[in-house]
Amino acid sequence: MAADAQKAKVVIIGAGPGGYVAAIRAAQLGSGVVLVEKQLLGGTCLNWGCIPTKAMLACAEALETIREADEYGIQVGEAVPNLPAMVERKEKISEQLRNGIAQLLKANKVQFVKGTARITAPNQVVVQNDEGDTKIETEKIIVATGSEPARLPTFDFDQPTILTSTEGLALTQIPKTMIIVGSGVVGSEFATIFNALGTKVTMIELLPRILPTEDERVSQQMKRILNKKGIEILTETTIEEISEYKPTGLKAKLSNGETLEAEKLLVSIGRSLNSANLGLDEVGVELGKRGEIVVNDHMESSVPGIYAIGDVVGGILLAHVASFEGICAAENAMGMNSVMNYDVVPACIFTEPEIASVGCTPAKAEEKGIETRVGRFMFGGLGKALAMGKGQGFVQLVVDASTDKVVGCQIMSAHASDLIHELALAIKMGITASDIARTVHAHPSLAEAIMEAAEAAHGTAIHAAPARK
């Protein structure tokens, strides 16, 4: 039996990095905010994505550092990974962060409701849970239902040998062999994790190069690094069929005629958007070809008063983008006039070394008709990087030749995900390469490489030999 309808100013469906941020921002601007989530606070990012993978990558990095201890003048015994303990650590970190979000919601007087939500009218949401159905009358609705790992019909996901990223993070036994289908962000991070654990990893990529959305120089160097670690990479290759499933593994027939055997196969070929079964069609919300909710730059859908944010709108599928979209939508739902801007969005890949980028690559700048100068500096020439034992990688600064303004940057290095934000701010504020080059950077630091790359854009780098004419 449905309970009496309750009322709210804003109802938000989904409590991931978009939804819970939207809820807090809306609550800061008024009262009467209800946040609905059918699974766990923090969504995919906190529970099955960003945070768990970074926790596992931190374990992999610690393991690799111990194995390389001799290079630092330290003698240790054999480093043996304990995967169940790593998984337990990962779970504790996610739990701690979930508890933190719960406290923030409580402090901001956001009402959290556990259950499955469906939009039954432009101003009505029904939440179903074990206690029955709850009808909520509301002025505005924000959909933040996210995405889940995409699945291919080639693979039988009921088989224990076939994994998505979700199941990959839950393994408690280290497989001896693993095939990873897809060499994008997720595939490359999982290859890094399991390679460090001792798994023989083979990556299968449909396109001509790994990390196909990254700058070609980044892609080429990362392939060399992964190969050196013992990871086999097969590009321009697909799996045509799984010829045999066994309790202990599988056989995969490749498009090049080869057959591969492995204990596990992890599929990382993108995300599927969670827009089904929400009642969107019934209330007239326009959907795109992939099931994405079509929104304007205020994050409002085709139905006034219904907003959508995060992965479900099918734009840039990054947690930090979802959070900013959530702030934009919440402000508009509460009567403000906010516009979402995607001009400067840093993106990071947590391989070893890390990869981070913002703005244009040289190729993208050329496509836009921007004449550029490119400044590069290798971390192998940087004192702090060598002291850390992290001399791999480079900074590549893309500069508009006519204005000297920074229009893009790609970094491959230790802590690239931290370094990139100096460049994000530079692009946002219209800062020039000369501005960066003439800003004193601490020595020794990894950030000096950015200063050196800015100098290199003008041919005046101090710690790099001049290019041959």
463 is catalytic: no
For residue 13, give every residue at least 6 positions away whose Cβ sits within 8 Å of its Cβ, in sequence order, or none. 19, 36, 117, 119, 125, 141, 142, 143, 144, 145, 278
User: Residue type at 397?
Assistant: L
CA distance 80 to 285: 53
For residue 289, give every residue at least 6 positions away whose Cβ sits within 8 Å of its Cβ, in sequence order, or none. none
User: Beta-carbon neighbour count of residue 419 at 10 Å?
Assistant: 21
Exposure class string for 115-144: b at 16+ Cβ within 10 A, else e: bbbbbeebbbbbbeeeeeebbbebbbbbbb
User: Beta-carbon neighbour count of residue 93 at 10 Å?
Assistant: 16
Q: Specify whether the CB–CB gap between 46 and 17 falls below 8 A.
A: yes
Q: Specify whether the CB–CB gap between 452 and 463 falls below 8 A.
A: yes
Q: Provide the CA 23 distance to its chain's centre, in angstroms.
A: 22
Question: What is the token pair recorded at 2?
Answer: 């449905």
User: Beta-carbon neighbour count of residue 31 at 10 Å?
Assistant: 12
User: Beta-carbon neighbour count of residue 32 at 10 Å?
Assistant: 17
Active-site hit among 320, 443, 458, 463: 443
Q: Specify whether the CB–CB gap between 130 and 116 falls below 8 A.
A: no
Phi and psi, residue 274, nearest 5° = -90, 70
Rg (the chain; Cα; Å): 24
Q: Specify whether the CB–CB gap between 210 and 233 falls below 8 A.
A: yes
Question: What is the token pair recorded at 242?
Answer: 């799984």
CA distance 324 to 334: 15
- Residues catalogued as catalytic: 443
